[in-house]
Amino acid sequence: MVEFGHAYVDSSVVVRRTLNQPGALRDVQLSYAVASELVVVEILRTLDRMRPAGGVPVTELARLRGVAETALAELNLIPLGPAILKRAGGAFPTPLGSLDSLHLSTALLWFEVTGNPLTFLTHDRQLAAAARACGLAVYPEPV
């Protein structure tokens, strides 16, 4: 079991756990986890896209939605406010897309405001590289 005091959880972590995909972080114990409220939209959009694309039965989608809602309820969601949006529009040490810049900006501002050490949990290599370049610890090492 890997234990973290404070962690930022990005959408890739919630999606993998919800869908029980290979590499899902099941061995992680979080004392306090934060995430952008963006994760709610990203996980629900992922589930909705499964409906027509994969022919996933409605009952299975309902079960997965329940799993996702349970996971989301364990997170302390941070609203996308003006400070996060402004920071996300700025420069980063490595290339980032819009949604990833929102995740990283949320984590960085939370860290700056609280001063608590923070581990950035993500399966996304590009986002992990950017978080590391900004001075955050990252877990796991994306492959």
Q: What distances in angstroms separate CA 122 from CA 12, 51, 62, 105, 141, one per listed residue?
A: 6, 25, 25, 14, 9
Q: Name residue 41's amino acid.
A: V
Measure the CA–CA gap between 12 and 127, rounded to whole angstroms: 10
CATH code of the domain made up of 2-139 = 3.40.50.1010
Interior/surface letters 64-91, b for 16+ CB within 10 angstroms, e for the rest: beebbeebbeebebbebeeebeebbeee
In this prediction the pTM is 0.91
pLDDT tens, the chain, 143 aa long: 788 889 999 999 999 999 999 989 888 877 789 999 999 999 999 998 887 766 788 889 999 999 999 989 989 999 999 999 999 999 999 999 999 999 999 999 999 999 998 999 999 999 999 999 999 999 997 66
Distance between CA atoms of 101 and 105, rounded to whole angstroms? Answer: 6
State whether the Cα torsion 80-66-63-71 is positive or negative.
Answer: positive
